[in-house]
Amino acid sequence: MTDSVTTQVALVTGAAQGLGNHIARRLHGAGYKVVLSDIHLAAAQAAASELDISGETAMAVALNVAHKCDFESALAVVLEQWGSLQVLVNNAAVTRATPVMDITLEEFNQVVNINLGGTFAGCQVLGGYMAKQGYGRIINMSSLAGQNGGTSTGAHYAASKGGILTLTKVFAKELAGGGVTVNAIAPGPIDSPMVKALVPAERLPGLLANIPVGKLGDADFIGDVVVQLASPQAYFTTGTTWDVNGGLFMR
């Protein structure tokens, strides 16, 4: 595998908006062909057109991460269009802030199935393909909530993100022999629509006061960390969790 990323293809789940879109943009800016996948195809198509209206370096695919068959279908489309896939970013997730004692089993299962199950399916289907090709980079988006139990998010969200940290280690061991690295990123509160939706404006000063650096995180920087972990030079980093949380959680 060459050190150049100009011929490499990266697929980002949940890339139509929010953090996933920032990640897709940073990968595209770094020279990757980018597949913006999302459950909302029209939104993904609009986001892909903003990156490259010609479709030569950015394309959209419909992908519901709760369905393993969607990953298989997306892979088939990418291979038909561009012939290969080297990078997967498992980013798609749902966030719920339901109090723990009010969470129904149905709601719990839904969140875990999408967040944790989607990461599992992505690693299994696309990671398996990469291992057969002898090269790959997988970056799983976890969360500070998966490390500290969460503050503004629900127990099901925190549990699913904690599970992603374990799955990252499992697949890092499983796929290492095939030249595939698997790492996780655990962001703290990011300056994003999701955080602002969960934290009312009147609570924001209190949130910032509890962050040692006193600021929300930068979504573009998260994208830059993804680019770093996606690079061919990152072959010696696998099974790790990169903390980007302003000092809220220190090892």
CATH number at residue 133: 3.40.50.720
Question: Rounded to whole angstroms, how far apart are CA atoms 213 and 142?
Answer: 21
Domain span at residue 188 reads: 9-244
Q: What mean pLDDT comes out for the span 3-24?
A: 89
Domain assignment of residue 249, yes or no: no
Pick from 44, 31, 117, 36: nearest CA to 78:
36
Query: Residue 1's pLDDT is what?
Result: 43
Domain assignment of residue 1, yes or no: no
Given a cut of 70, is residue 3 above it in pLDDT? no
Q: What mean pLDDT comes out for the span 17-31?
A: 97
Percent of the chain topping pLDDT 90: 86
Query: Residue 6's pLDDT is what?
Result: 59
Query: Residue 196's pLDDT is what?
Result: 72
pLDDT one-digit tens code per residue, 161-193:
999 999 999 999 999 999 999 999 999 999 877
Domain assignment of residue 64, yes or no: yes
Query: Residue 234's pLDDT is what?
Result: 98
Could you tell me the pLDDT band of residue 4, with boundaries at 50, 70 and 90?
low
Could you tell me the pLDDT band of residue 201, with boundaries at 50, 70 and 90?
confident
Given a cut of 60, is residue 244 above it in pLDDT? yes
Task: Name 184's bridge partners.
Answer: 140, 241
* Count of structural domains, the chain: 1
Domain assignment of residue 172, yes or no: yes
5 compared with 215, residue with greater pLDDT: 215
Instruction: Say if residues 119 and 90 touch (Cβ distance below 8 Å).
Output: yes
Query: Residue 206's pLDDT is what?
Result: 85
| The 9-13 sheet, strands edge to edge | 58-62, 33-38, 9-13, 87-90, 136-141, 180-187, 241-244
Give catalytic residue positions: 157
Domain assignment of residue 251, yes or no: no
pTM for the whole thing? 0.94
